[in-house]
Amino acid sequence: MDKTVLITGASSGIGLHTARLFQTKNWKVAATMRQPENAEELQRIVDVECFRLDVTDVDSIRTAIAETIEKFGRIDAVVNNAGYGLLGPFEASSDEQVRRQFETNVFGTMNVCREIIPYFRERKGGYIVNVASMGGRTVFPFSSVYNATKWAIEGFTESLQYELDPFNIRLKLIEPGPINTDFYGRSQEVARKSGLSSYDHYVSRFISFMNKAGGEAPDGSIVAQAIYDAVTDGSRKLRYPVNTKGLLFLRGILPSSAYRLVTKTIFLR
């Protein structure tokens, strides 16, 4: 029987590549996004259906799940991919910016999980794939709020796997490093505060480095492959790092003082 995957944030980047890949593997794909009417490419692909889903709107999540089941008859995997990056000095960030970052990256993921878990529990199986970041196990300068959301997703997912294991619901964490996506463009937000210029020199160097790294990085297809592997490899493996360039390995073996020097050298040189 054909299997179905529901993907959030499927309009571009990692989500779009994931939708394409699963379709080529003979999966039915529910590609969800806030504005499905703009997803012209996906609408032309057989076995891909575009649904409206805003991870901050619980009613839209419930509707998208129900419409997917009505269209395809089942859901076998959910990929929580929707998110964006807030960068810049924490001092410059507004309360609204911080809350919106958490509403999307953390509470949005939790909203989708809360709505799909009862369905998977009743079916006695399913996959929940949460796209975190290498920034969920290490940190970057001027990314304190973004890092906080990804560390939250790591802890949430690792703990949740114990609750859901008796129901054969498997949790997976995808941890991308630099990937050439809208994270470095349309989906990037930089916190700024009028009259605050003390950080400008350092932020400029950091943003330049990040954008250069993103521009030279592989596209989202390598993350899509990791997501597909996570859903189909039959293992209970939790974490799937992608293009982390050895930083997670160094984080694990270096003393904190040495790793701090590595981080400053890489991101603020």
Under 8 Å between Cβ of 134 and 247: yes
Q: One of 127, 146, 199, 228 is an active-site residue; which one?
A: 146
Residue 228 annotated in active site: no
Give CA separation, 240 vs 53, 171, 237, 254, in Å.
Answer: 26, 11, 8, 21
Helix axes 108-123, 58-72, angle to 10 degrees: 40
CB burial class (10 A; 0-12, 13-18, 19+) of residue 92?
middle
Q: Which of 75, 81, 66 is nearest to 4 (CA)?
A: 75
Structure letter (DSSP) for residue 115: H
Q: Which of 230, 13, 232, 250 is nearest to 134 (CA)?
A: 250
Give CA separation, 125 vs 72, 74, 113, 134, 144, in Å.
Answer: 17, 12, 14, 28, 36
Q: Which active-site residues does the annotation give?
A: 146
